[in-house]
Chains A and B, each alone.
Chain A
Amino acid sequence: MTLLRSILTVTLLLTFFFTLSPAFQSDELLLDDEEFGLEGGRPQTRPSSPNTAATTTTTTTRKRIPDSASDSKIQFTLEHAFGDSDFSEAGNFSARLKTWSHGAQTLTKLRFSRDAFTEDEKNKFQELLKRDDFYRIRLPSNVLSPPGRDYIVSSVKARCLPGDGLEEHFVIHTEGVNILAVNYGAPGACPFPRQLKLPAKWSFKSHTLLKNTEQAPRTPIFTEELIGGEGIEGELVQPIERSFWAKYWMYMIPLGLIVMNAVTQAANMPEEQAGGQAGAPPQQGTAVQRGTNSGVRRR
């Protein structure tokens, strides 16, 4: 019973997820959605690295400077080609173009809706899989006046795409209204001896990400004192802090030896006196005394 229920929840969750990924399709709720987005963010999981100008990042900036930007919605098409065939339409990207008060324009909130493969396209794709050929896509290099100067082309070996269904991953590099490049491929691995595998489902699971340029880290600038204290050579030459023992061991060891010597002598002294009572007068050298004494004892 519990097992059945858990399976049910899993499937429910899965369907929820699946419906979310192509949830890009509905764009009528865009305004509402944005307000929602401000509060809770979109339910989608996107890598929130600081360099990605994904939805969340830009909305926060917008929060800071209210009324400094105006929005407009734009659309551009994705085109694809099978091997060396001509390009044909394959889907639609829609994004929000923000115009800032200083004139700069940025793209945010990218959504993607992919057209399903037609029968003809399916055949062509299967042909590609058999030949291990390239599946190519292209985007305009300028979203306002497509195609701009030239198309941005990207391609992937067709055998990389089929997973459970067909999986693809777009990273679109933008600069204002220009698209520089698109990193296109399978979201996961595609190990080299590419096996021929037909997709179980002919539906695309698309992941998209907008990426903007990253600021280079500033060169550290130190104050004058620091540079002054640094020495001419540039390398910090500091006297190494050493322990007392490390500093004076060369004095300590002879001292220790002397002490030890003295102690042993002192220890020997009573013995001698005990051993050689009858013996020598006190002014005789100790060494000689000891020598004779030991000799006496051994015999």
Chain B
Amino acid sequence: MVGQKNLKADKDDLILVFGKGCLHAISGIDGEVLWRKDFASESIEVSHIIQSPEVIYVAGFVGSSKFYVYEVNAKSGELLKNNHVALPFATSGESLSVSGDKFVVLDDVRSKIVTIDINNGNINYNQKQVSDLIKDSSGQAVILPSKLPGLFALKINSQVLLIKVTNEGELVALDQIDNTAAFSNALSISEDQHVFAFVQYEDNKIQLSVKDVNDWNGALLKENLVIDHQRGNIEKIFINNYVRTDRSHGFRALMVMEDHSLLLVQQGEIVWSREDGLASVVDVTTSELPVEKEGVSVAKVEQNLFEWLKGHVLKLKGTLMIASAEEKIAIQKLRLRSSEKSKMTRDHNGFRKLLIVLTRAGKVFALHTGDGRIVWSTTLHALRKSEDCEHPVGLNIYQWQVPHHHALDENPSLLVIGRCGPSVTAPTVISFLDAYTGKELNSLSLAHTVARVIPLPYTDSTEQRLHLIIDVNKHAYLYPRTPEAIEILKREFSNIYWYSVETDNGVIRGHALKSNCIHEIVDEYCFVFRDLWSIVFPSESEKIIATVTRKSNEVVHTQAKVMTDHDVMYKYISKNILFVANAAPKASGEIGTATPEEATLVIYIIDTVTGRILHRMTHHGCQGPVHAVFSENWVVYHYFNLRAHRHEMSVIEVYDQSRADNKDIWKFVLGKHNLTSPISSYYRPEISAKSQSYFFTHSVKAIEVTSTAKGITSKQLLIGTIGDQVLALDKRFLDPRRTLNPSQAEKEEGIIPLTDSLPIISQSYITHSLKVEGLRGIVTVPAKLESTSLVFAYGVDLFFTQIAPSRTYDSLTEDFSYALLLLTIVALVAALFVTYVLSERKDLEEKWR
């Protein structure tokens, strides 16, 4: 959509909106669409719309060398005239409007500047060599997209050339600015005065200049400021003016940095800054905080003694109620900082952690779970824009090293994987970070690509986790690159399996390692692999729309599930299990584009070692989008039922029948059970799956399940609803064993009577009244306390909370009155004494009688 608006918006002016190849004229009075003109059939790439009271000019390129102008009656939308000119060469890049009816564009080799002038619908063009304007024109020229009246900025290497377009269409070079970072649009501060701003780098300082468009010699403003180099380059700048106390013009500049943070600069100072990079979280992991060390002095904790004293004075003021409003805020801050919640050490319950988030800009932040503050942030060197890596993107973040044995003297470290560009064939960069300080320990540019990263369940003697990186050329690379890692891998060589999903192709393949790569250069950390199995879905009836696996670090407390009739079912628990949802190709679009007859949803549960389909089920008249979560032996998924016109959620629970006959007590006594026999994926599984579907009111953005330290606590599903809230729903509601009239015994077990829809109880929104704007993902992390799970939801907003699905049964609540408990004990002891003495005395009296 291109919105075009008249700046001098009068009440009866037209508002022109261009979108999807169609120009709409909307009345400024009542918003009615007065007329529309379709340009979709003209195959024109409309780039400019010039509005005047009588006629509207619509201009743009067809292909790369034909420039078209359409003249449209502003009253009726009638096409008055159309005109075009064919340029003798192709153009490249966007054309820029310089003044009302003049455009500039570069030719495809970027050596000529073309000025196009539309005069009453007649098109004239001039061309000029870039080398005529600047001596050293060896680099690639780019027209900067800043809108300046009568001017445009041409960037060559790090220099920017400001060029004026005269009324005759002549180009005159006005100025040349070195080391430029960013240009703002022009801002009109009075009738005939337009100003613009630009920033230049000077050593480690940044110079912000504001100049008048028509007056080159004097600068209205020149300020120097220092910006933390962690923020990277300045990407964009916007200016805004105000009247100073001496009635002169003052300017504020808003800068957008490379790490997506915002800075407001005024009078050479950063007034405020915002880390808006946190709005685009890509991946999240957590890290434990340092272990509390003995003998840390007060002075060290409180920075220095003076600060410490000042804090106490403030607190004293607060208690004497003589603190001003600002001081009160300072006191609040102090309280927060010194409170138990926000300490920088590990706590007994494991509530305090560092959330390490990777943002799209390639910056890594560590957030404290206690108060959400940024503990450290690092712009990764490997993920900065450079010559070799033009569009770096952060992909994933993993725990690289988690020291348990040396937790006191070693810091955990993280692995960040990034890629130079959006395609999978772009080169890979990896970086290692210290989790406590954010220091980049090491960074590598890899020779191979990355298609998938597999953290292996093995660690070496320094507790570094082994990772396999699979590239697009069917090679697997082992990290860390140490001989010890090779040793460990050799030992487990035949036990490493993984799978790959080819979504476009509708194929899932299973792989295992084969041997070392055969290259000219011997690389013992490189392996080739073979395909063990493949599943080919019929392309005419099925398309893969969702795949979900279990979390690799999930803990399952018990394998057996005792039924109401004291029967035992064994959960089918396998780490190598994959849920796949396929939709009919016709119904893989938006809801409403397919009829119920042509929509089917087929779901699969697949063993990823052998490629066996363990369970397969079809939902007729249903379609995606499918959101699913896999945990223990069950999967819950959400989809749309076209026949019922409602969203549904289904559950499948998978039970292992081969162990089902281990119920006879005599078998246990005689040792004739198979419970202790090792489980292999090459067993032929005997599986029974139970399933049930329920209606669910909301459409869903994400589904997660709570995870606890030992997996004993009952689970809750965390559903990110379309309203950007997180709803906690007991897994009990999604139990396939729910019946209409549960027996007394079943009720006691906690089976809820069957209903057709899942209840949405407004108290169970864990976000309460808050909204996590633009919710994209939910992450759950177990705390050390079994009953509690930590929940982090991210989108444009970030949200963190602790939840206890079965209440905090293993700890006392915060408002538990220890004083009362003590008092009761003391009173009881006292009563004991008193009664003892009394009874002694009574006995004595009795005896004397």
- Residues of B within 8 Å of A151, CB to CB, are 534, 536
Instruction: State the 7 A-B residue pairs at the shortest beta-carbon distance, nearest first.
Output: A234-B759, A190-B682, A178-B538, A183-B612, A219-B693, A141-B536, A181-B535
Give the docked Cα–Cα distance between A136 and B616 (Å).
23
CB nearest to B616 among chain A residues: A213
Contact digits for A159-189, partner B, Cβ 8 Å, 1 yes 0 no: 0100000000101010110111101111111
Across the interface, do A150 and B641 meet the contact criterion of CB distance under 8 Å? no
Give the docked Cα–Cα distance between A253 and B590 (Å).
68
Interface: B755 (CB within 8 A) = yes
CB nearest to A138 among chain B residues: B534
CB nearest to B688 among chain A residues: A49
- Closest-CB distance, A145 to chain B (whole angstroms): 12
Contacts A/B (CB < 8 Å), 9 sampled: A84-B514, A156-B682, A180-B613, A181-B611, A181-B613, A183-B613, A189-B684, A221-B644, A233-B761
Q: Number of A interface residues, CB 8 Å?
A: 54
CB nearest to A47 among chain B residues: B686
Given contacts A190-B682, A218-B693, contact A84 B538 (CB under 8 A): no
- The answer, among A134, A176, A211, for a CB contact under 8 Å with B538, is A176
The A227-241 residues at the B interface (CB cut-off 8 A) are 227, 230, 233-236
Interface: B140 (CB within 8 A) = no
- Residues of B within 8 Å of A218, CB to CB, are 693
Given contacts A185-B610, A233-B761, contact A217 B692 (CB under 8 A): yes
Interface: B678 (CB within 8 A) = yes
Interface: A99 (CB within 8 A) = no
Interface: B753 (CB within 8 A) = yes
The A188-235 residues at the B interface (CB cut-off 8 A) are 188-193, 211, 213-222, 227, 230, 233-235
Interface: B756 (CB within 8 A) = yes
CB nearest to B622 among chain A residues: A216
Across the interface, do A148 and B691 meet the contact criterion of CB distance under 8 Å? no
- A-B contacts besides A150-B534, A180-B613, A185-B684, 17 pairs, CB < 8 Å: A149-B536, A153-B532, A153-B533, A155-B533, A156-B610, A180-B535, A185-B682, A186-B684, A191-B678, A215-B617, A215-B618, A216-B603, A216-B617, A216-B650, A219-B641, A219-B644, A230-B755
CB nearest to B641 among chain A residues: A219
- The answer, among B541, B648, B684, B692, for a CB contact under 8 Å with A188, is B684
- Closest-CB distance, A226 to chain B (whole angstroms): 8
Given contacts A180-B613, A216-B693, A235-B759, contact A189 B532 (CB under 8 A): no
Give the docked Cα–Cα distance between A80 and B616 (Å).
26
- Closest-CB distance, B358 to chain A (whole angstroms): 36
Interface: B807 (CB within 8 A) = no
The B639-680 residues at the A interface (CB cut-off 8 A) are 641, 644, 648, 650, 677-680
Interface: A34 (CB within 8 A) = no
Across the interface, do B754 and A180 meet the contact criterion of CB distance under 8 Å? no
Give the docked Cα–Cα distance between A166 and B342 (Å).
65
Across the interface, do B539 and A189 meet the contact criterion of CB distance under 8 Å? no
Across the interface, do B536 and A215 meet the contact criterion of CB distance under 8 Å? no
Give the docked Cα–Cα distance between A192 and B492 (Å).
13
Interface: B531 (CB within 8 A) = yes
Interface: B619 (CB within 8 A) = yes
Across the interface, do B684 and A187 meet the contact criterion of CB distance under 8 Å? yes
Across the interface, do B536 and A180 meet the contact criterion of CB distance under 8 Å? yes
Give the docked Cα–Cα distance between A227 and B760 (Å).
14
B residues with CB within 8 A of A: 494, 506-507, 509, 512, 514, 530-539, 541-542, 602-603, 606, 610-613, 615-620, 641, 644, 648, 650, 677-680, 682-684, 691-695, 752-761
Interface: A154 (CB within 8 A) = yes
Interface: A152 (CB within 8 A) = yes
- Residues of A within 8 Å of B756, CB to CB, are 219-222, 227
- Residues of A within 8 Å of B761, CB to CB, are 233-234
Give the docked Cα–Cα distance between A88 and B682 (Å).
24
Across the interface, do B530 and A84 meet the contact criterion of CB distance under 8 Å? yes
- Closest-CB distance, A273 to chain B (whole angstroms): 28
Contact digits for A50-68, partner B, Cβ 8 Å, 1 yes 0 no: 0000000000000000000
Interface: A157 (CB within 8 A) = yes
- Residues of B within 8 Å of A220, CB to CB, are 754, 756
- Closest-CB distance, A171 to chain B (whole angstroms): 8
- Closest-CB distance, B137 to chain A (whole angstroms): 53
Interface: A132 (CB within 8 A) = yes
CB nearest to A84 among chain B residues: B530
- Residues of A within 8 Å of B648, CB to CB, are 219
- Residues of B within 8 Å of A136, CB to CB, are 532
- Residues of A within 8 Å of B539, CB to CB, are 149
- Residues of B within 8 Å of A187, CB to CB, are 684
Given contacts A84-B530, A173-B616, contact A222 B755 (CB under 8 A): yes
Give the docked Cα–Cα distance between A168 and B650 (Å).
35
- The answer, among A173, A179, A181, A214, for a CB contact under 8 Å with B617, is A214
Given contacts A181-B613, A183-B610, A211-B616, contact A153 B684 (CB under 8 A): no
CB nearest to B610 among chain A residues: A185
- Closest-CB distance, A129 to chain B (whole angstroms): 14
Across the interface, do B753 and A236 meet the contact criterion of CB distance under 8 Å? yes
Give the docked Cα–Cα distance between A236 and B536 (Å).
46
- Residues of A within 8 Å of B512, CB to CB, are 134
- Residues of A within 8 Å of B617, CB to CB, are 213-216
Across the interface, do A219 and B694 meet the contact criterion of CB distance under 8 Å? yes
Across the interface, do A173 and B755 meet the contact criterion of CB distance under 8 Å? no
